[in-house]
Chains A and B, each alone.
Chain A
Amino acid sequence: MAIDPVMAEELATTYGAALYGFCRKLAFTRQDADDLYQQTFLRLLAMPARVDLNDTPRGFLMAIAARIWADERRKYARRERIAPIHSGWDVETVAGADTGGGQLTQQELQADVQAGVNQLADSLRVPVLLYYMGDLSIAEIASELHIPAGTVKRRLFQARQLLRQEMEANGYGEA
């Protein structure tokens, strides 16, 4: 038995905005984000009914999207090595902010964090997004990505270090 379509519809209505926001952050272009969003629900419909959606449905949907994204990236990795599909980052999501060397405003900070996250490798970016956007615990991320919890912790630590360096260079933490 697959997941009840009524429940899937409810999830799409309730968590659509959160999931689409996640897809926009994860994918490079709007078109990729749209495809990812659509595929997430198709994958959800193919899942067995025994999947427990009561705990963190929002994080669960994001984890499905992250898995699809990882699969797609693996599939196209070889092609990208030969002829890159994504020549640059999505300008809309990483529009940089001119800090002018002073203290960062909230908007600038947000733009800097987004730009920093987009520059991370997928292996670091996906756990960061699941942790901070999906509010999934380390154990849940480990289970969804099929990697040990220690690896998730290490990747989060590395990502934080890189982001901190990047942001400090832009004026974060200056009094």
Chain B
Amino acid sequence: MAKHNNDFDQTLRTALHHEEEPPAALQQAVLQQIRQHQPQPVERQIPALLIAVLGAMQTISMVAMVIFFLPSTLVFEWAARNLVGLAGLMIIAGFVLAFWLKRKQKEGVPS
């Protein structure tokens, strides 16, 4: 049975082995893109960072709003009592996110 499985594995491997030269124009275009590629400096990525942070803050606020207006009085009362704390948490979360994004950008990962 094991041999049968190995044979089948080998059959799949052989049958799926496929190499095909890309069309010359395509390969040329790819090589051209690689040669002309200029890594984006971090300063140029700042607007993207700001948009990401603002977007995240807005998402957090929207989630908070939904929680506040849930028909559960228990949740409403708890949120109302801890409004200041929640706002503080959101701000901290925003800062953590900003630092994380900044670090990722320094590593060269586009946001």
Contact = CB atoms under 8 A, between A and B. Distances in A.
A128 B11 CA distance: 13
A160 B11 CA distance: 11
Interface string A121-143: 00000001100110000000000
B21 A16 contact: yes
Task: State the majority secondary structure of interface residues on A.
Answer: helix
Contacts of A128: 12, 16
Interface string B1-32: 00000001101111111111111001101110
A17 B21 contact: yes
Nearest to B5: A160
B55 interface: no
B44 to A, nearest CB: 13
Q: Interface SS of chain B: helix, strand, loop or mixed?
A: helix
A50 interface: yes
Given A12-B27, A34-B23, A113-B11, A21 B34 contact: no
B35 A5 contact: yes
28 contacts: A1-B39, A2-B108, A5-B34, A5-B37, A9-B34, A12-B27, A12-B31, A12-B34, A17-B20, A18-B19, A20-B20, A22-B18, A34-B22, A38-B30, A41-B34, A45-B33, A46-B110, A48-B107, A48-B108, A49-B108, A110-B14, A112-B15, A113-B12, A128-B16, A132-B13, A133-B16, A160-B12, A164-B8
Interface of A: 1-2, 5, 8-9, 12-13, 16-18, 20-22, 24-25, 34, 37-38, 41-42, 45-50, 109-110, 112-114, 117, 128-129, 132-133, 160, 163-164, 172
